[in-house]
Amino acid sequence: MKEELRGLLRHLLFGHICTSGVRRGLTASLEGPPLELDRDEQRAVLQSIAWKAGEIMTSDRMRALDPPARGHLEWSAWILAAFQTLRPQFDSDESAIDFLGDAAMRGFNTRSLRLGVWLALRACRGGRLERARAMFAAMIRQYGGTFESNFTQANQRLEFHVTRCFYFDFFKSHDVPALTTVMCRLDHLWFDRIDPAKHGLRFDMAGYQTLSRGAEQCCFPIVQATVGGTD
């Protein structure tokens, strides 16, 4: 019973909650440039996206290998459906993907998420790489069996690697691997908030890599910096 409840919660997190975040951001973005849709047009677009997402989930149901994967599929299907629906309104795949990425950032950049990130980073103050590693490990466990990852740690540097990613595999199978960057952009909501003066850590952007941009694996490098500890 406890395992079933845990699975249900992870399904809801990646499915309902994440999909709601993208939908919320997209709803706000549709009314502004470059599309500037009125309320009726927005409603029609969102209905079309929901219909397409349902079709995609049905056709790709074999990907739902565990409860988290069912949530990953729901979220990914909604983004793919949004891309397919809105792509004719843009000059290129890249501009449509940028639009969706901006919408996702708008939908996820909420007070509750910022509070969660603040609490997580606060726990790592003083340059605690081991604490950061433990949090990464706990987080990736929630993603289920369709993700694989590992760590390397040496010389005051921690690298978290993702070697298998449901989202990248899904979008690649639909011939738009770059659409994974809509998810990847959300990483900025946490690593842009790492402050060496406060946390004793810094994010090494030069070493940041993602599967969605052609790397062999995703790499999130965090380096010990001057030890701080103030809020």
Query: Are 55 and 150 members of one domain?
Result: no
Number of domains in the chain: 2
Question: Would the pLDDT of 1 be above 70?
Answer: no
- For the chain, percent helix, then strand, then coil, each to nearest 5? 65, 10, 25
**How confident is the model over 186-195, as a mean pLDDT?**
94
201-203/157-164 β-pairing: unpaired
Residues 168 and 215 grouped into a single domain: yes
CA 78/CA 75 separation, integer angstroms = 5
Angle formed at CA 147 by CA 4 and CA 1, multiple of 5 degrees: 5
pLDDT-derived band at 14 (thresholds 50, 70, 90) equals confident
- Residues for the chain: how many in total? 231
- Residue at which a domain ends, from 55, 81, 108: 108
Please give the residue range of the domain that contains residue 164: 126-224
Q: Are residues 142 and 184 in the same domain?
A: yes
**Residue 231 is assigned to a structural domain of this protein:** no
Q: How confident is the model at residue 229, as a pLDDT?
A: 46
pLDDT tens digits, residue range 53-104? 999 999 999 998 898 999 999 999 999 999 999 999 999 999 999 999 999 9
The mean pLDDT value of the chain amounts to 91
Same domain as 101, residue 31 = yes
Mark whether 76 and 132 lie in a shared domain. no
Q: Whole-angstrom Cα distance, residue 191 to residue 168? A: 20
Lowest mean pLDDT among 1-15, 52-66, 119-133: 1-15
Where a domain ends, among 108, 135, 169?
A: 108
Task: State both tokens at 136.
Answer: 């990464």
Q: Does 140 fall in a domain?
A: yes
Q: What is the pLDDT of residue 225?
A: 86
Q: With beta carbons less than 8 A apart as the criterion, state whether 69 and 145 touch.
A: yes
Q: Are 87 and 169 part of one and the same domain?
A: no
Is the pTM higher than 0.85? The answer reads yes
Q: Are residues 217 and 162 in the same domain?
A: yes
Is the same domain home to 52 and 143? no
pLDDT, tens only, 144-170: 999 999 999 998 999 999 999 999 999
pLDDT at 228: 43
